[in-house]
Structure formats: C-alpha cells, structure tokens
C-alpha cells in the first residue's frame, strides 16, 4: 500500500529533527555552558561532589583577573591580531593578485617558497626567529611579534586569496583595459570590489590564527608583550590551578572568535564557495 | 596593397603552444565598412579580435589602424570598442554603470556632462530594449539581456577607432535578432570607423557584412562580398559553413568517354557534363584530360528540384525525411551512400520511403577532392537534359 506523507507525518518528522539538532548542540556546547557556570561559581564548591547546581554567583574570579592585569593582555592580543592582519591584507592582496595574474620567471618557485613557510612546523621556525630577534633587539617587542605573525599569516593569505583572484574572469579586466582604465584604476574599481568577500573571509581566518597563536607569543614575547593565550597558563599557580579565573579568561578568549564567525558567517560561506558557481 | 585609414592586417600570425591560432592573416576594413568574420568554433575568430585589440600579442605581422602601426600601443590607447563573447559585464555594477564605464575614463576626450552621458546611455539602452533594466545588476538579467547590456557598452563608444563585436546577437531570440541585426549594422555604418562583426553563423555574416572573411583553421579561407561567397565558395569548408542547410557535397569521379565527360557518383549514377562546363573545368584545372579526376560536386539545396519518377533518365533517390516549414519544405533524400537536402518550394506531397527523381536546376560547383579548393562553378544540367541556362558569374 502506498503511503502518502500527511501534514501529521511532516510535523512529527520536523519535531524529531529539531530534537536531534538540539541534542547535538547541547552535547557540543556542554563544555562552554559548564565554563560559563565556572566563571561565577565560588572556588570552595567548584569541584563539590555531588555537583552543586544552585549557588550564589560570585565575582571573585573577575576581580582576580583584573588584579592580574589580564585586560592588558587582552588589549595586546586584540591589537596584535588586528594590526598584523591589516598589514597582511595590505601587503597580501596585491601579492595574491600578482601571483594569479602576471607571468614572471620563477613565479612557481617563489610561490612554493611562500607556502613552505606555512608548511614547516612552527616549532622549527621559532628557533631561528628567536636567534634573529635576539640579535636585532626585537625579542619581547610588539613589532617583533607583529612581524612574526605577518610572516605565517601572509603565506596563508596569499595562498587562499590567489585562488579567489584566479576565479575572477580575466576578461573583466581586459574589458576595462580596452576602455582605457589604468592598471591601478582597474584594481580599485573592478578587482577589489569583486574580491571583497574573499578578503573578508580570509582575513577573519588570519585574525583567528593570530588570536589563538601560542608558541610564537610564548617564545618571542612573554614579559613586556604578553598575549592572552600566553597569560592563561599563569593561572596554574603554586597554590593550585585557578579554575574560575581560567573560565573567565577562556570565555573572553573565545568571544571574538564566536562574534567574528557569527557576524561574518555570510561572508565566509559566500567567500569560501565563491567560484563554485559562475555567473 | 590596400591603402586607407581603416584597419589593415598584414601576415598576422599567433601561436599558442603547438596550436597555430592565426596563420598569416591579411585583412582590411575600410572606415565605415562592416566586415563580418565567420568560421567554425576554434577557427581563431576571437583570437583575431584580441590581437587587434592588443589583448594578445601576435607572433608576427602588423596591425595598422587609422594609418598607423599600433603594435606598440597599449590596449587602452587603441580606442577599441569591444564586445566580448563572454559579455565581461562588471558583476558589481548596474547595467547603466556598465554601459557608462567607457565614457567615464578620466582624461578621455569624450567630454560629456552627467546629463549628456545619461541621455546617451539611455538612448542606447532603449534601442536595445533594455532601458527598463538600467538599475539591475548583471546577475539579475537573462542571457539575452546580458548580451544586450554588453552590446550597449560597446556601442556607446561613438568615437572608437574601431568597433569589434564578438557574437553580438547570438543569444537573442529570433525576432529581436532580426530587428537588431539591421539596427546595429546601420549604427556601425554611420560611423567613420571600421567595424568587425564576428559570428559563427554564415548566413548572419552574409547579411551584416559589407564584406565577409571566412576564417578556417587560423587562415582566411575566403574574403569577399557576401555575393561572391554565396555564389563561389572558395572551398568545401567554406561551402559547409554557408547556407541553411549548407550546400550538398557529393564525391564524384570524372570520366571522359569519347569526348563526353561524365561525373560518376558513388552509387554508379552519373551526370553528363555539358561541353562548356567541361571547357571550364579543363581550363581551371590546368590539365589536358579530366580522366579519373576525383572531385566534390556542390549543389545548393534550393538548386535541386524533386520530380516524379515518370521522367526518364533522372537520378533516383529515396526520401528520408520531410520538414515542412510553410513557405518551403526541407526534404532529406538518400543518394547512394550520401544524403542530399533539398529546399523545395513544392514538396509534391512526398513521403519518407518514397522514391523520387532529382534534377539540378542551379549552378554546380566543382571542388578538388583532395584539397577541397574550388575548381570552377559552372552550370550543369542533369543526365540527358539539353536545356541550357545562363551561367552565373564565374
């Protein structure tokens, strides 16, 4: 017997589906929700058995975090991420475009070289960086870390944006050239507007890489210039691990990533799928 | 050598890797003239345009425009109005902005004020029947609308040194295509600059070109007036491109039997060639005897008549299919191993499977079987017939 799909079936199916999605989300989000709880949980009941679900929220962890000047580290992380990403965009966009468009001798070798700096394990690169920076007095400076971040993000940025550039039909630029526009005008009027989604998507990823980076920040900075990921382990003290404070800082560290993804989701999805559909 | 201020190409060649895209192209387009360039896909039509525009650098040869060699000029300095086959519309700009783009280049002589510019573009868009789409983005247009938007961008450049349209009306519906063909042609002729109109459609080329260049395999197979190309195709390849349906081409072998020359078709049927055709063939081929000469015979579909089998001594063939178009019918017949298509004003109610007779009623073109190049176009009355008619211009 053939069964037709009734409205009732459709409703059931939808409900089941929603329940599954909620369950999956809860599973994935549980650690985050637990962390939010830890932020305001008094230290003495932090690991009480059985778990105490009801308690008077406390701001003690927040106070400690501010006393330890974590807002400075936050600012360092934000500035380092923004400035290094901005520089990467400024330098990397014309570079990616050139790699995609212009023929020159040794282009492929040069491109491989750009990529290689990204493929090597960071721990291999950090030692020469340390030695070089020590020699030229860039250790533990903001400029030094910015430069280090730029190098590894630049290769990634150029690599990704080059494929966006390749997806731009060259005939658009040919048409503009025939009309009499100069190379620079074409880059501004035609290329940049069409690359916007790609630039936004790629630079958000660069910012997140910089934001999450630990090894370089730890080895090349650490005292005067301390980023959030480097500061978090200092909460493991001789008196024990300060879990509540860790939760507070952890949430703060997570926030920009969530915000960026949430607001730029449209750009990232459109950016990463651009070129899949022509027209 | 041609001497005018239009476009002159000398021995233009271009190679991509192993592929010789253009091979010694000689072409000239006088000011105010429209030359249609036609040929099968991959023949080098677009490459030719790009070499003239400066988007591709030719390997050898020269390009003169406005009385000056322009090989060293940047594309932007050549004053080329170019419609790309792919349209190349700027996706982030509206139809209006796209069309306005060439007129807004800083430092260009076209000193149009904002209002004049809007007026000029508005008129062009209206003419192309897309005035109401001025504020749309290209992604919101259909294929034909995109093509017209791109066309507007090329045509608003009144002062262009040359206008090149790469398949300008191929994606329009039939009605619009017929209307715009004439309008665009008139607009191009009114200009004091040469124009090139590229189309894969041989008939469109004949209808829009003051002269037509047939490009095959990177070479100019024939360059002449539409009439010359229609009546005297230079080769089998050219004949295949022109006409709808194109010329019927039949392999045959010439036999000289005591002064009576016949052309044996592949199924044993033969045509008796009248003496004047033979004279022409002999003169054109440069041989003493026509014995065993392998040729290809070309007859236009409208130059064959279907007749009843009662007439004696005619070629017989079998009707394969019938497509009635109203004012004429397209009848496909099998003749030996080959097929013949006939554009019949009167199909006499034939049905598939029926056996009918054929009579050639118009000029027959002889091509060399080996090279495909034309030997001569002559009059041929079919076997046994003695009726003679005027021979079209040779």
CB atoms within 10 A of CB A224: 10
**Residues 6+ away with beta carbon under 8 Å from A196:** none
Tell me the DSSP string of B223-271. Answer: EE-HHHHHHS-SBHHHHHHSBTTB-EEEEEEEEEETTEEEEEETTS-EE
B223 bridge partner residues: B213
- DSSP one-letter string for B261-325: EEEEETTS-EEEPPHHHHHHHHHHHT-S--TTEEEEEEE-GGGEEEE-TTSTT-EEEEEEEEEE-
With an 8 Å Cβ cutoff, the interface of chain A facing chain B consists of 169, 171-172, 174-182, 190, 193-194, 279
Contact (CB<8Å) A180/B90? no
Q: Which fold has domain A66-273?
A: MetI-like fold (1.10.3720)
> In which element (H, E) is residue B8 found?
strand B7-16
The model's pTM is 0.81
Distances (CA, A) of B163 to A276, B65, B83, B130, B382: 34, 12, 8, 21, 47
Determine the Cα–Cα distance for residues B55 and B62; give it in Å rounded to an integer: 15
Q: Do A180 and B92 touch (CB under 8 A)?
A: no
ipTM, two decimals, is: 0.81
SS3 content of chain B, % helix, strand, coil (to 5): 25, 35, 40
- The answer to whether the beta carbons of residues B50 and B88 sit under 8 Å apart is no
Look up residue A67 and give its two tokens.
Answer: 């006393």
A163 and A275 Cβ atoms separated by less than 8 Å: yes
pLDDT of chain B along its 394 residues, tens only? 567 889 999 999 999 998 999 999 999 999 999 999 999 988 999 999 999 999 999 999 999 998 899 988 999 889 999 999 999 999 999 999 999 999 998 876 556 788 889 999 999 999 999 999 999 999 999 989 999 999 999 999 988 999 999 999 988 999 999 999 999 999 999 999 999 999 999 999 999 999 999 999 999 999 999 999 998 999 999 999 998 899 999 888 888 777 777 788 776 677 777 677 777 777 777 666 666 678 888 989 988 888 887 765 667 788 999 888 888 899 999 887 888 999 988 777 888 888 888 888 878 888 888 888 888 777 544 443 433 333 332 2
A interface test, pick of B49, B90, B164 with most A CB neighbours within 10 Å? B90
- How far is it, in rounded angstroms, from Cα A240 to Cα A41? 17
Q: Order of strands, edge to edge, in the sheet holding B315-324? A: B304-307, B355-360, B315-324, B329-335, B338-344
Element (H, E) at B374: strand B374-379
Q: Is B137 on the interface with A (CB under 8 A)?
A: no
* Domains defined for chain B, CATH in brackets: 7-241 (3.40.50.300), 248-379 (2.40.50.140)
Residues in chain B closer than 8 A to A194 (CB atoms): 91-92
Terminal alpha carbon distance of chain A: 46
Q: Among positive and negative, which fits the CA dihedral A271, A272, A275, A276?
A: negative
Q: Tell me which chain A residue has its CA closest to the CA of residue B78.
A: A178
Q: Per the structure block, which two tokens stand in for A243?
A: 């879990």
Selected residue of B46, B105, B159 to mutate for chain A interface (largest A Cβ count, 10 A): B105
Q: Which residue of A has its CA nearest to B99?
A: A179
Best residue in B47, B51, B52, B55 to probe A by mutation, most A CBs within 10 Å? B55
Per-domain boundaries in chain A = 7-39, 66-273
Taking one residue from A and the other from B, the number of pairs with CB-CB distance under 8 angstroms is 52
Interface contact A190-B90, CB threshold 8 A: yes
How far apart CA B247 and CA B242 sit, in angstroms, is: 7
* Confidence category of residue A269, pLDDT binned at 50, 70, 90: low
Number of H helices, E strands in chain B: 9, 21
DSSP state of B327: S
User: Nearest-CA distance from B283 to chain A in Å?
Assistant: 50
Nearest chain B residue to A177, by CA: B76
CB contact under 8 A, A178 and B74: no
Q: How far A155 CA sits from the closest chain B CA (Å)?
A: 28
């Amino acid at each position: 017997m053939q069964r037709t799909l009734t409205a009732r079936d459709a409703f059931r199916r939808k409900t089941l589906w929603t329940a599954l999605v909620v369950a999956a989300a809860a599973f994935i989000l549980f650690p985050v929700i637990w962390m939010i709880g830890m932020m305001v949980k008094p230290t003495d009941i932090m690991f009480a058995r059985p778990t105490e679900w009801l308690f008077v929220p406390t701001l003690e962890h927040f106070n400690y975090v501010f006393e330890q000047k974590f807002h400075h580290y936050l600012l360092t992380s934000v500035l380092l991420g923004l400035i290094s990403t901005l520089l990467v965009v400024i330098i990397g966009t014309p570079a990616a475009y050139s790699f995609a468009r212009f023929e020159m001798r040794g282009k492929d070798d040069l491109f491989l070289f750009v990529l290689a700096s990204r493929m090597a394990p960071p721990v291999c690169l950090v030692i020469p960086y340390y030695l070089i920076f020590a020699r030229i007095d860039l250790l533990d400076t903001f400029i030094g870390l910015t430069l280090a971040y730029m190098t590894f993000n630049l290769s990634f940025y150029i690599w990704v944006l080059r494929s966006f550039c390749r997806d731009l039909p060259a005939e658009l630029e040919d048409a503009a050239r025939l009309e009499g526009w100069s190379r620079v005008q074409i880059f501004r009027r035609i290329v940049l507007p069409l690359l916007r989604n790609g630039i936004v998507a790629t630079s958000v990823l660069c910012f997140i890489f910089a934001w999450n980076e630990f090894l370089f920040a730890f080895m090349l900075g650490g005292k005067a210039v301390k980023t959030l990921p480097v500061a978090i382990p200092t909460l493991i003290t001789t008196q024990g691990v300060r879990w509540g404070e860790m939760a507070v800082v952890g949430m703060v560290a997570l926030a920009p990533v969530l915000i960026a993804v949430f607001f730029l989701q449209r750009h990232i999805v459109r950016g990463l799928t651009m070129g899949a559909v022509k027209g | 050598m041609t001497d005018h201020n239009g476009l002159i190409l000398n021995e233009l060649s271009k190679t991509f890797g192993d592929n010789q895209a253009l091979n010694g192209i000689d072409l000239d387009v006088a000011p105010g003239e429209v030359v249609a360039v036609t040929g099968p896909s991959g023949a080098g039509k677009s490459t030719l345009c790009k070499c003239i525009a400066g988007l591709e650098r030719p390997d050898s040869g020269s390009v003169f425009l406005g009385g000056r060699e322009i090989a060293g000029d940047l594309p932007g300095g050549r004053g080329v109005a170019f419609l790309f086959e792919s349209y190349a519309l700027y996706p982030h700009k509206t139809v209006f902005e796209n069309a306005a783009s060439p007129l807004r280049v800083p430092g260009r002589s076209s000193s149009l004020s904002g209002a004049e510019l809007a007026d000029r573009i508005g008129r062009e868009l209206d003419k192309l029947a897309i005035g109401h789409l001025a504020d749309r983005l290209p992604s919101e247009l259909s294929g034909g609308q995109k093509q017209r938007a791109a066309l507007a961008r090329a045509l608003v450049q009144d002062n262009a040194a040359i206008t090149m349209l790469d398949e300008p009306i191929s994606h329009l519906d039939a009605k619009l295509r017929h209307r715009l063909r004439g309008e665009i042609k008139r607009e191009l002729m009114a200009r004091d600059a040469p124009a090139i109109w590229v189309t894969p459609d041989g008939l469109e080329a004949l209808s829009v070109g003051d002269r037509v260049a047939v490009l095959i395999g990177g070479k100019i197979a024939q360059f002449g007036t539409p009439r010359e190309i229609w009546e005297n195709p230079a080769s089998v390849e050219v004949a295949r491109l022109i006409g709808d349906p194109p010329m019927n081409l039949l392999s045959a072998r010439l036999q000289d039997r005591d002064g009576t020359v016949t052309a044996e078709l592949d199924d044993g049927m033969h045509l008796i060639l009248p003496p004047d055709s033979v004279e022409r063939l002999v003169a054109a081929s440069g041989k003493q005897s026509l014995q065993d000469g392998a040729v290809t015979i070309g007859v236009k579909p409208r130059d064959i008549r279907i007749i009843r089998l009662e007439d004696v001594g005619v070629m017989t063939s079998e009707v394969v299919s019938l497509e009635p178009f109203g004012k004429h019918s397209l009848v496909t017949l099998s003749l030996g191993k080959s097929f013949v298509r006939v554009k019949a004003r009167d199909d006499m109610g034939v049905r598939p499977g029926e056996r009918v007779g054929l009579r050639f009623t118009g000029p027959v073109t002889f091509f060399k079987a080996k090279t495909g190049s034309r030997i001569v176009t002559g009059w041929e009355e079919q076997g046994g017939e003695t009726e003679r008619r005027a021979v079209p211009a040779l």
